[in-house]
Amino acid sequence: MFKNLLIIVLGVMCVTMAKPVKKASASTSKFITIETSQGKVVIETLPKIAPNHVKRIKELVKDKFYDGIIFHRVIEGFMAQTGDPDGVGTGGSGKNLKAEFSDYEYKYGTVGMARSMNPDSGDSQFFICFDGCSHLTGQYTVWGQVVSGMDAVEKLAIGEPPSNPDKMVTVKLGKK
């Protein structure tokens, strides 16, 4: 009897003393999921390359800044741009970021920060490359790479702005 009680007590102690397994929370996730009007796009962020840009993008995602924003500039064979709350390509969140240029090569699915002629003018607008973006390497901050959903990006309405633009319905941290 005493032996059985001791086994039970030891078992309970082991369970209560065991450290819970930490699961990556959405805020620490390296991924951002965009539910567009054409389907889901998952972006892996690149904090080692552009830590300040990734941090700011995640802040905007947490604040639901991007929810409902249109893709205001989609150029076939080049890129799809979004992130302007005004939908015309001149707006932003009001917080410019210092450029974090790298030698990460722009290729199919690379996500970069849009900016004006001033290298330190990136704010909330970003673009997703199709092809023909390699000349942007080292001149625009790369902060992510699409890991799934480029088929949805390829379906976005073309134009500057498109006559019937697609939008980011919801944007969330993590793989959703």
Average pLDDT (91-120) is 95
Range of the domain at 79: 25-173
Percent of the chain topping pLDDT 70: 85
Q: Is 4 within the bounds of a domain?
A: no
The tally of domains found in the chain comes to: 1
Q: Is 1 within the bounds of a domain?
A: no
pLDDT band at 73 (very low <50, low <70, confident <90, very high): very high
Q: Is 2 within the bounds of a domain?
A: no
Token pair for residue 144? 């992510």
User: With b meaning 16 or more CB within 10 Å and e meaning fewer, what string describes 65-99?
Assistant: bbeebbbbbbeeeebbbbbbbebebebbbeebbeb
Higher pLDDT, 23 or 98: 98
Phi, psi (deg, nearest 5) at residue 20 = -70, 150
- pLDDT tens sequence across 43-62: 999 999 999 999 999 999 99
pLDDT at residue 4, as a whole number? 53
Higher pLDDT, 64 or 20: 64
- Assign residue 68 the CATH number of its domain: 2.40.100.10
Q: Is 12 within the bounds of a domain?
A: no
Average pLDDT (74-101) is 95
Average pLDDT, the chain: 89
Q: Give the CB-side neighbour count of residue 168, counting CA atoms within 13 A.
A: 27
Q: Is 50 within the bounds of a domain?
A: yes
The angle at the Cα of 161, spanning 124 to 116, to the nearest 5 degrees, equals 40
Q: Is 7 within the bounds of a domain?
A: no
Q: Give the CB-side neighbour count of residue 139, counting CA atoms within 13 A.
A: 7
pLDDT over threshold 60, residue 18: no
Which residue pairs, CB below 8 angstroms and at least 24 apart, start in 21-30? Answer: 24/174, 26/172, 26/173, 26/174, 27/58, 27/62, 27/173, 29/173, 29/174, 29/175
Q: Is 46 within the bounds of a domain?
A: yes
- pLDDT tens sequence across 116-172: 999 999 999 999 999 879 999 999 999 999 999 999 999 999 999 999 999 999 999
